[in-house]
Structures are given as C-alpha cells and as structure tokens.
Amino acid sequence: MADHVYKYVQPAFSSIANLQNQILDFVDMSSSFPSFRQLSKAVSAAVPAALFASGVARGGSPPSCSNPQLSCQNTTVVTDTCCFNAPGGQLLQTQFWDYNPPTGPSDHWTVHGLWPDHCDGTFDQYCDPNRQYTNISSIISAAGRTDLLDYMNTYWKDYQGNDESFWEHEWGKHGTCISTLEPSCYTNYVPQQEVVDYFQKVVDLFKTLDSYAFLSAAGIVPSTTQTYTSADIQAALAKPRGVQVAIQCASGALDEIWYFYDVQGSVQTGTFVPTDPDGSKSSCPATGVKYLPKTGTPPSTTMTTSTGTPPTSTSTPGSPFSGKGTLPVTTNGKVDGCIISGGTWYTTGTCATFTATASGSGFTLTSSKGKCAVSNNILTCASSVTAATVFSAVNGKLAYNGSTNFYTGSVPTGSTQASVSVAQQATTLTIGWTAS
C-alpha cells in the first residue's frame, strides 16, 4: 500500500527537490544573490504547482464534522475549532458599490471579502504572519482553478486597479483568522489549499447575493437625481433572506453592504445560516441616501427622496415578459440554449414557447406542459402544477424572490437536460425572454 501511494506522490516531491537544487546551483553560480522575498515568492508559487500538477491529488481533505454546532449559538465552550468557527463565529460577506472610479459591471455589486467577526461585532485581524501570502493568483492557478480566478477578475475588483494586492489584504487580514481554515484542520494538507477554499467560499456566497437585483426589485436603482431612505434599502435587502443587513455610506452615498451568517460546521463544507447583524452598525443617514450610477458622475445638487416604491410604468407588468416567447439561458457571459417545456435547461434543439401572463406586480409562465412553478427549489412546468409561481423581471431577466440567479449542477450537453434550481449549485445561470 505504501509503495502504491508513493508512486503517485513521488513525482510531486521530486519536482520540489529539483526546485531546491536549482536554487542552490543559482546561489553557487551567481554573484548577485536574490533577496529572501524573491526566493520566498518563487518557492511559494512553485510548491503548490508541483503538488497540484499530477492530477491525482487535488489537495487534502477539510475537516469531517459530525453533528456540528451553529457558531455564535453555543452555550458551552466548543474546543474543536476545526468544526466550529471561533472566536470569529459570525461570518460577514461584504460587498462594494464603487461608482467613482467605477469598478466591475455597471449592474452588479462587487466582492469586498469574508470577515470572521466575534459574536459581538468585534474582530481579530492578521492572525498568522506566516501565511501573509503575496501570490494569490499563483496559488489559485496552481490549484487548477482558473475559473475561480476569471470570476474574481470580473467581480472582485480594487478601485485603484490593484486586484492582487486587494486579494492579499483580504486573505491576510481576515482569511487567516478563520479557525476552520487552519492548516492543521486538513487531512493530508497541501500547502496553501486553505487559500483556495477561502476565495471559493467567498465567491460561492457572493453568487447567491445579487444586491443589485434585490434593490431593483424594490424600485431602488442607481440615479443621479433620486434618493432613498435607509429603511427602504434595508427592507429590500432583508426580503430575500428574512434577516437584516448592515449598509454603509460615504458622503451620504450607498457604497457597501454587509450580509451576516452563523455557520454550522466548517467554512469549507458547513451550512451558512443567514442571521441578523452581530453588533455591527449601519452608517447611512435615515433619509436622502444616494445610490449613484457607476459612471463617475458627481451627484446632482437637486435630488428627490423616494420611498422605494417602483416607478409607474406604461409597459406591461413584468416587461419584457409578456405574451408568447422563449426563455434563453445565459451562463458565463454567453447565451447557451434555453428552457424547454418541462422547465429544464436544454442546450440543443428547439426552444419551447411560453406564455407570460400578468399577475399582480409580476407574471406567471405557462408552457405546453402546463403551469410553471418553483417547487422544492426546482423550476417545474407540468399539468400537475395547480398554483403557478408569480415571477418578476429585473433588468430584462427572469427573477424569483427578487433574484435573477438560477442554478444547476453542470451545463447540459447533447441530449442531456438539466434541472433548474433556485438553491445554490455549481453553475449559475440567468434566464431572459425573446418575444415570439
């Protein structure tokens, strides 16, 4: 058995040994000795690359937690901090709205980070000086996670244009303080794999929190002339999750949102449970809150205050979802197939025709199979559906409970169909409308 294991891990360690020999040769032959920082960065980038390169092992295993407790809800001390986040038991997924200079897509908030607060709003920072890494992109690439890195390059942006330094800061200040990400928590730990787990978890959470869609569903949209109340902004952001958030303003303009979670188990594999703020406070004024578009345009001197009620429109409720049309699917920035009559996603063949019918402030959908509804988190269209779900439209996309994000396990190919869920899964998609 030992020989069998050695056959697979030996090439990785040989690569590390070769790297060490090359560095020693360089030191012997060079009259210009590189700095320790240069050597450190070279080794930091090469070691995980060697360990991840074989394709046999993709890193060690995160902690296996049996009946874990919910963080910040315990009544006695929990000593196993690999399965219980402590002392940073409340996790904040924080987002930016950078409008001047603008960063990220004009119709989407961007990632700030994931912060482990104590259960009272206080927090630790920079918890491990030995893991203040300066090569986040290299670590993620070495793990074969270019998809994660591509997403970060779009949605995790630094307003000064230095994304790498921003990522290093978030990991070093906050990531190193998450107890369940400690290297000792892993079985067969591979150096720096906890870094990849941290950034992946932040992105996974962020994908479920479409702040722009949440606000738009309540009629709160970027404007140079309109202002809003903090209460209406808070209500719009609380509606999809059932708990409050903290909002932050700079010079009276909304620029940050903090979403709060307690965690049952580890950050890597545990369940994130939405919760109210742990003591952190909002900094926005009660009224006159600006929500400026990402154009860099300075605020107008004349502004009106809205209560957050959606503006009156002469278009059909749910526009453009009206009459007959098809439901094209977009994922990874491109249209790929459509929703077919049963409510599943199909990337080949003919798109099904749906009928959108106004209902209250939204609309219902019907296909040749019957009414469409979200049942047990799955989009289903069938004759057995007795009560159709009332959907809404946000920026021309189908929305459920204010969110335009739908999910599936993987992109279907060939004749395969994929179920479409409103619960988070590996692949995120949006659904549009093409009138017939």
Residues belonging to the active site: 112, 170, 174
Q: How far apart are the first and last CA of the chain?
A: 63
User: Alpha helix locations (H) across 208-249?
Assistant: 211-216, 230-238
d(CA 105, CA 210): 12
d(CA 273, CA 291): 28
Strands, E assignment, 118-221:
none
Q: How many CB atoms lie within 10 A of CB 95?
A: 23
Return the H-helix or E-strand segment holding 304.
strand 304-306
Beta bridge partners of 356: 323, 365
Which are the contacts of 79, defined by CB distance < 8 A and separation ≥ 6? none
Residue 353 in contact with residue 368, Cβ under 8 Å? yes
d(CA 37, CA 205): 34
Find the length of the chain: 436
Residue 364 in contact with residue 389, Cβ under 8 Å? yes
Picking from 40, 269, 39, 42, the residue whose alpha carbon sits closest to that of residue 132 is: 40
The two structure tokens encoding residue 141: 């690439």
State the pairing for strand pair 397-399/392-394.
antiparallel
d(CA 6, CA 13): 10
d(CA 327, CA 396): 11
Residue 304 in contact with residue 225, Cβ under 8 Å? yes
Residue 431 in contact with residue 422, Cβ under 8 Å? no
d(CA 310, CA 171): 39
Picking from 329, 377, 335, 383, the residue whose alpha carbon sits closest to that of residue 352 is: 329
d(CA 56, CA 70): 34
